[in-house]
A and B are shown apart, each in its own frame.
Chain A
Amino acid sequence: MASLKDLQNRIKSVKNTQKITKAMQMVAAAKLRKAQEAAEKSRPYSERIYEVIKNLAASMINVGDAPKLLKGNGKSDTFLLVVATADRGLCGGFNTNIVRKANQEIIDLENQGKTVKLYLIGKKGFDQLKRSHNNKIVYNVSLKEERSIHSGISQKIGSQITKMFENNEFDVCKIIYSEFENVMTQHAISKTIIPASVDLDEVTPSKTSDAKLNGAIYSYEPDEIGILNVLLPRNINTQIFTALLENQAGEMGSKMTAMDNATRNAGDMIDKLTLTFNRTRQAQITSELIEIISGAEAL
């Protein structure tokens, strides 16, 4: 049986741990609010850009030389998976969920006989994926140095990906990240970004765009293709940006929940240890008393 001193030490150390997890939870809560705000603020831009691409895509369906970023290069042999994870751990199953989704995606694609390449954003994803898929990793970016997610980061990553596409290094690009639903739930999802996934069923020109334009025809400056050529790479950047922001919010939400649980567990543990401590102390006193009494009786 542990001595009183040992128990005291354990209680002290668990209390310290609880203080740390509590502080981490509060930090995560503050950061979560910021991350959510950032995600919210970026929404108008990404919605607009999607809207514009949708309209343009509708008019480009039947054009032969539509940009490759929109239509794809006609093949689907090599897949580039952009896996966005966090740079820090201690956030519950957040990173593991994304990595699991990526693993599943890799297996599915390989079963179909496709080649898979990996572009990893975030240190944790790299740590977990390098064991089984080291030979597939083409790039590995860590955002640890960046103080906050800004559009410059996604621009850098986006232009790198676009360049790889132009060099025919891959045919289809998918991004895997965690979609932020609320603090408790985040889903790992994968989304195709090249070729641009536009839901063309949604585009019913007679209803949506024409109503807005009162039947007038859009004029373009420069021409449609010129605009699309600038717009599509930007759309990729925007999608990466959105993914990073959602991830950040998800990471913080996940961390908050995980740390909340940890704090509660530490509390439970302290209660249990305190109980054992008191019992042991009581037992010690009792046995001391018995010793004294029996000693007195013997006289």
Chain B
Amino acid sequence: MAETLNFSLVSPECELFSGEVIHVDVPGTEGDMGIHPKHAPLMAAIRTGIVNVYRSDENISFFVQGGFVDVTTEELVILAEKACFIDDIDHKEIKQEIESAKKALVSLEGEAALSMQQNLDGLQDILAN
């Protein structure tokens, strides 16, 4: 059996997932990352996107919006500002958020604009799929 690492995905409202996994894909602000067991300790910010979780018997996908990933030698934790199962995505809500993100983008500049753009891109990707 493949080596596993302990993964948990928590949002402010609840813990969505906790258990042994083989591999997790994380959308970092600086680029996507695949995290396997024995990854070096890492602390990274994440952007809007999909977290793919690979387990020995199933694969699960989550939608996350903003937050952090914390990797230690023992475990991998994603602290998401917003998270849900990919099937639970509310397309209407996403559309609304895209609209408000577009509006917000006009008045922002610098770093804030960059992260908002990232958010917008992520949301549009979700909708496209």
Contacts and interface: CB of A to CB of B under 8 A. Distances in A.
Interface residues of B, number: 26
Interface in A206-265: 212-214, 216-222, 226-227, 230-231, 234, 237-238, 241
B124 interface: no
A244 B77 CA distance: 25
Contact of A48 (B14, B40, B70): B70
Interface string B58-94: 0000000001101011100101011000000000000
B43 interface: yes
A38 interface: yes
Chain A: number of interface residues, binned into ranges? 20 to 34
A213 B45 contact: no
A208 to B, nearest CB: 11
B52 interface: no
Contacts of B29: 221-222
A216 B38 CA distance: 11
- Looking at B8, B30, B73, which has the most chain A CB atoms within 10 Å of its CB? B73
A41 interface: yes
A295 interface: no
A113 interface: no
B44 A151 contact: no
Given A45-B10, A49-B79, A212-B74, A220 B40 contact: no
Nearest to A151: B12
24 contacts: A41-B13, A44-B10, A44-B15, A45-B12, A45-B15, A48-B10, A48-B77, A49-B79, A52-B68, A151-B11, A151-B12, A151-B13, A151-B81, A155-B81, A213-B72, A214-B73, A217-B41, A218-B41, A219-B40, A220-B42, A222-B30, A227-B43, A227-B44, A234-B67
Interface of B: 8, 10-15, 28-30, 40-45, 67-68, 70, 72-74, 77, 79, 81-82
A-B pairs, 7 with minimum CB distance: A221-B44, A41-B14, A151-B12, A218-B41, A45-B10, A44-B10, A213-B41
